[in-house]
Amino acid sequence: MTGLSKDQLTLQATARELAESEFRPLAATVDQTEEYPWDSIKKLADAGLMGMTIPKEYGGRGLTYMDAVLVVEQTARCCATMGRVVVEANMGAIGAIMAYGSEKQKNRVAPYVLNGDKPAICITEPNAGSAATEMTTTAVKKGDRYIINGTKYWITGGGVSKVHLIFARVEEDGEYLGIGGFIVIRGEDDDGLVIGKREPAMGVRGIPETYLHFENLEVKASMLVVPPEGLRRGFAGLMTAYNGQRVGAGTVALGIATGAYEIALEYVKERHQFGRPIAEFQGLQWMIADMAIAIASAQALLYKSATNGGTGFPSMLEAAQAKILAAETANKVTNDALQLHGSMGYSRNLPLERAVRDARMFTIAGGTAQILRTQVASTLLDLKLPQTRDGFTRLAEKNNTK
């Protein structure tokens, strides 16, 4: 892409070289063994790609979301697991802590991430997915501590992450104050943090997805992350940081799609049937053209969202639009790339069946394509979730008073 600065082009090239030389050769093994790639993550940390968005005063490089997107894209081209690690080491939980945390919190968390930890953002529960505010995990104030009880589900990095940002309903003296995020470091003051069973996943198998159980987990009150809005509206503020996570997830999907497309592009030039390259058949040419168009479109939306976010957070509208398009593009492109290879595409000897499995999660995780479409529509129509008939009535009344 043109328009990148010299530093960004250098960063992009560095990420590409590392991914091609170190991550691509191990991608199939990571998928098959389902083991967390500690050695590869050390290489990311050594290259300064873990916590690159952390401000310089806390030891990071102070890079932008756009810089991080360039690294995620190149990494995910070669290994989806490593792409996701880069996302969560630069966006999501760490983004929320760096934006809204206290000096003590930032100084405590930053070294872990810079040295290779992938923070875990703990929101989803068995009965609270898209409707995150229906979470039942509680944090009850007791002296200078909060006592957390509850269960989280599909927590990426459960059992390997040290830094956790745990979302819970905050109560004090029997009064509900709002939803807050609590920093808990596994291995330190984590008595009551129980790593539950691992969910066997379809794709991106190198990162565990687990249950987390909190059994009277005591957390110092000083580890409660509170946005400027305070607890009453704090969850909305903390979730603003999740817009960056969604752009990151969309970029992993983009990288997966790009990697599959590149393999298919070379294959149709080399594969001969009926005495000529299959690239000469118009039906297959159109498949290649549609793949390229979709990838370019998704990339443009992701780059726009990340660039507009700067060193802050992308907007909800732009992040949702970008993630929807990138995730659905990844599903289509990886399936088409497999189709172009015929029976060989279906074989585990090629990376395409893995790409199909890896891509499938991104229309679900981090906001389903359906709920994100609802959020896009809600923004455009000036409606709040949940959308009810009363909501549309209020909109009509508002318009009639203009």
Between CA 65 and CA 99 the distance in angstroms is: 13
Are 154 and 81 in a shared domain?
no
Query: Is residue 252 in some structural domain?
Result: yes
**Type and span of the H or E element at 71:** helix 65-78
Q: Does a cis peptide bond (omega within 30 degrees of 0) precede residue 386?
A: yes
- What pLDDT, in 10s, does the model give residues 219-231? 999 999 988 777 7
Chain-centroid distance of CA 98 in Å reads 17
Q: How confident is the model at residue 397 (pLDDT cuts 50, 70, 90)?
A: low
Q: Is the pLDDT of residue 388 over 90?
A: no
Are 94 and 182 in a shared domain?
no
- Give the tokens for residue 370: 């359906």
Q: Answer for the pair 167, 181: CB distance below 8 angstroms, yes or no.
A: yes
Burial class (CB in 10 A: 0-12, 13-18, 19+), 2: exposed
Query: How much is the average pLDDT of 168-175?
Result: 93
Query: Is residue 1 in some structural domain?
Result: no
- What pLDDT, in 10s, does the model give residues 37-76? 999 999 999 999 999 999 999 999 999 999 999 999 999 9
Are 202 and 95 in a shared domain?
no
Q: Is the pLDDT of residue 258 over 50?
A: yes
Q: What's the total number of domains in the chain?
A: 4
Q: Range of 380's domain?
A: 373-402
Q: Answer for the pair 287, 336: CB distance below 8 angstroms, yes or no.
A: yes
Predicted TM-score (pTM) of this structure: 0.93
What percentage of the chain carries pLDDT values higher than 90? 85
Query: How much is the average pLDDT of 283-311?
Result: 95
| Boundary residue ending a domain (177, 209, 228) | 228
Query: Is residue 356 in some structural domain?
Result: yes
What CATH number is attached to the domain comprising 349?
1.20.140.10
Q: Is the pLDDT of residue 386 over 90?
A: no
- What pLDDT, in 10s, does the model give residues 174-215? 999 999 999 999 999 889 999 999 999 999 999 999 999 999
The DSSP-derived string for 288-348 is HHHHHHHHHHHHHHHHHHHHHHTTS---HHHHHHHHHHHHHHHHHHHHHHHHHTGGGGGST
Reading phi first (left if > 0) and then psi (alpha if -120 to 50, else beta), residue 315 is in: beta
- Give the tokens for residue 101: 């945390």
Between CA 3 and CA 6 the distance in angstroms is: 9
Query: How much is the average pLDDT of 233-242?
Result: 79
What CATH number is attached to the domain comprising 104?
1.10.540.10
- What pLDDT, in 10s, does the model give residues 264-276? 999 999 999 999 9
The DSSP-derived string for 243-303 is HHHHHHHHHHHHHHHHHHHHHHHHHHHH-EETTEEGGGSHHHHHHHHHHHHHHHHHHHHHH
Are 139 and 101 in a shared domain?
no
Pairing of strands 163-172, 120-122: parallel
Q: Taking Cα atoms as reference points, which of 250, 286, 255 lies closest to residue 366?
A: 250
Give me the pLDDT at residue 151, please: 97
- Specify the range with the lowest mean pLDDT, choosing from 91-95, 168-172, 324-328, 394-398: 394-398
Between CA 363 and CA 71 the distance in angstroms is: 21
